[in-house]
Amino acid sequence: MEELKKFIAENKVITFAAAKTRPELVREVQDKLTALGVLDPVIKGSATTPFAPEPSHDDVPDKETLAAVEHFGQIAGIPILGTVPIELVKKLIKVTPEKFLPLNLKETDNDTDQARLAKRLVQFLISKGYWVARSPQMINIVYLEGANADGRKNKDLDDEWNDRRILLRFTAKGVPEIVLNAEATTEPNKAYAASLKAKKRGGAARIGFGQYKAWKMGFHLTAKYGLTHPCLKQFSPVRLHRDLDANGSRLGDKISVETAGINQHSTRAGQTFQRVGGWSEGCLVGRHWAEHEDFLKFLQKDIRYVQNKDYVFMTAVLNGDEFSDAMMGTAGQPA
């Protein structure tokens, strides 16, 4: 916090534009806001390394940084009017995550199954080194592959809607709550994987487990649907396993990092599809259209999107077997 201390000693306000000339100061602000749970971390990964948060930022005072500064000021009760006041910086140095937006993850006898699942999901995310947005005005997106609505693993059979799309946020008291827990798929079926179309692509895409910052509000397959299928459209790289042998497993697959095509979309309004079928060629797909609409409505109320319509959403994709065994006490049970 050396640069922040120097800034306080100077006893001058600084405009957002002037902050660009002080990269070390910007980095300290970014790192502290991320630790407090109000600024998304930098996410990186490669073909050999799963995507996950980086320990530090890149010194760039972008739209998300400025929005996070303003949101911090809102929570702290310090108005931001185009400049960063000394009072805000003093508060930023002083506060800790445990005091500013504390998390209440202690389970109680009164917890519902979903309340318990929410707390255990947050614990698991933190144990993996993943980041959670702590502000009650922010939403965390989590996909749990091969798991039921209660978080317990299932047999994860081919061509079934046996994964979960979960939206999670915190109350003003730091208690995590699940606002959406919907049927979904994170994986294409074996029939598509065996198709010539998939083979030409080097194998069906199966997203790697990890945490990504890769999606913007947009539309799925505009050439086919026009503007009738809103979605989270892939904007940044994700890690993909290419299932060239079409065995429905990531093991032994070639891994690539790709920047387009893995959208978070749904099926069709007014219909319920028993099988995944052609709805996923590697995308993260919600089964029911009405739940998909709810999914997008919740995300459109996220303060990060409200402040910046160009916001890039984060998403964690988790191994349901790993989560269930670690957090739900299912080790040794049939998968």
- Is pLDDT above 60 for 334? no
Tokens (6 digits) for 334: 């049939």
pTM value is 0.97
Beta strands in the chain (DSSP E): 14-15, 43-44, 52-53, 83-84, 140-145, 163-170, 176-185, 204-207, 210-219, 230-234, 238-243, 254-258, 264-265, 284-286, 313-319
Strand 264-265, strand 284-286: pairing:
parallel
How far is it, in rounded angstroms, from Cα 311 to Cα 288?
25
Contacts of 223 (CB under 8 A, 6+ apart): none
- Other beta carbons within 10 angstroms of residue 196's beta carbon come to 7
| pLDDT 10s digits, 169-225 | 999 999 999 999 999 999 999 999 999 999 999 999 999 999 999 999 999 999 999
Residue 118 is classified by DSSP as: H
pLDDT band at 332 (very low <50, low <70, confident <90, very high): low
What integer pLDDT is reported at residue 283 of this predicted model? 98
What integer pLDDT is reported at residue 83 of this predicted model? 82
314 and 212 Cβ atoms separated by less than 8 Å:
yes
Tokens (6 digits) for 193: 């994987």
pLDDT band at 333 (very low <50, low <70, confident <90, very high): low
pLDDT band at 13 (very low <50, low <70, confident <90, very high): confident
Q: Mean pLDDT over all residues of the chain? A: 95
What integer pLDDT is reported at residue 7 of this predicted model? 86
Contacts of 297 (CB under 8 A, 6+ apart): none
Mean pLDDT of 25-32: 94
Angle at 93 between CA 132 and CA 5, to 5 degrees: 140
How far is it, in rounded angstroms, from Cα 241 to Cα 279?
18
| pLDDT 10s digits, 101-152 | 999 999 999 999 999 999 999 999 999 999 999 999 999 999 999 999 999 9
State residue 281 phi and psi, 5-degree precision. -115, 25
- Other beta carbons within 10 angstroms of residue 6's beta carbon come to 13
Contacts of 292 (CB under 8 A, 6+ apart): 182, 265, 266, 267, 286
What integer pLDDT is reported at residue 199 of this predicted model? 97
What integer pLDDT is reported at residue 19 of this predicted model? 83
